Amino acid sequence: MEAIVYLNGEYLPASQAKVSVFDHSFLYGDGCFETIIVRQGRPFRLDEHVTRLFRSATVLRIRIPLTPEALAAAVLETVRRNGFQDAYTRITLSRGEGYASSDPRLAEKATLVIIAYDLGGHPAERFTSKGPGMRCIIASTRRTPPVCVEPRLKANNYLNQIFARMEAVSAGVDDAIMLDIANFVTETPSRNIFVVRDGKLLTPRAHNVLNGITREVVMDLAQKNGWPVAEADLTAYDLYTADEVLTTSTAGGIKAIVEVDGRPIGNGQRGPITRALGEQYEAMLVS
């Protein structure tokens, strides 16, 4: 069966869901997006994702042509029409069709797209690490500083992160950790990072990274388990010498990083806190 896509108010077979070659997200990456996971027919933290999209759109001054409630309903309807129980869904918002000029005034009507993939069939799955956790490098590409592009804005332009990801591919590892221009740890191209040391969790400060929804979930879970959690300025030293390092994201869940720049983290296996958080998060997804 052909996938069904939501495009500007219509549910269309994927082959008929066309976006203009003059669309400003295609021409300039001008827009924002969200990825939401659905398990057993239920979306995880859908309202938080919709709120974050509306915030990104506010910053970009793009008007979303739906209420938050109607947008959430359209996500669910897209999943339903595709017949998925477990799915990745993605909302993409573009400034819309305009001209080959980055002047935002030339694109007056936003383009809104919702797509859904079967969770088991995501093409990126074939690249996921098969070992006890992810092997990473620290990328030479620095995370764009917040004075240039605000990292909490989940923008359609991921070039900064794609450069880091290309470094990971060249190095033959699973992912790349990006530092900021002051040498502090930020995030990987698509995941937030936590360091575990002496039973405490530390994570880079929110102003320097995407304010991940899974990051928030892990901070809550850690507190419920009685593990102190704090935001901190972390360097490569803190990664290399951690007891555990873990990453969080909607698409990837909670994953251990077991090696950074050739140094095993802890004993090189997924640690007990990462395992416990992963199990508790999995239980939340299906509860």
Instruction: Report, in Å, the least distance between residue 211 CB and ligand PMP.
Output: 8
Cβ proximity to ligand PMP: between 1 and 147 the closer is 147
Instruction: Report, in Å, the least distance between residue 25 CB and ligand PMP.
Output: 16
Q: Which residue is nearest to ligand PMP (CB)?
A: 212
Instruction: Report, in Å, the least distance between residue 192 CB and ligand PMP.
Output: 5
One-letter amino acid of 43: P
Cβ proximity to ligand PMP: between 89 and 107 the closer is 89
- Contacts of 77 by beta carbon, 8 Å cutoff, 6+ apart: 6, 11
Instruction: Report, in Å, the least distance between residue 16 CB and ligand PMP.
Output: 28
Cβ proximity to ligand PMP: between 102 and 157 the closer is 157
With beta carbons less than 8 A apart as the criterion, state whether 151 and 113 touch: no
Query: Which has the closest alpha carbon to 87: 75, 69, 98?
Result: 75
CA distance 199 to 227: 6
- DSSP H or E stretch at residue 68: helix 68-82
Cβ proximity to ligand PMP: between 4 and 201 the closer is 201
Cα four-point dihedral sign 219, 168, 210, 53: negative
Q: What angle do CA 117, 245, 233 make, to 5 degrees?
A: 110
Cβ proximity to ligand PMP: between 46 and 213 the closer is 213
Cβ proximity to ligand PMP: between 156 and 190 the closer is 190
Tokens of 30: 């001008």
Query: Which has the closest alpha carbon to 162: 134, 188, 195, 194?
Result: 188
Residues that bind ligand PMP (CB under 6 A): 35, 161, 187, 190-192, 210, 212-215, 248-250
Instruction: Report, in Å, the least distance between residue 215 CB and ligand PMP.
Output: 6
Cα four-point dihedral sign 88, 94, 98, 101: negative
Instruction: Report, in Å, the least distance between residue 253 CB and ligand PMP.
Output: 9
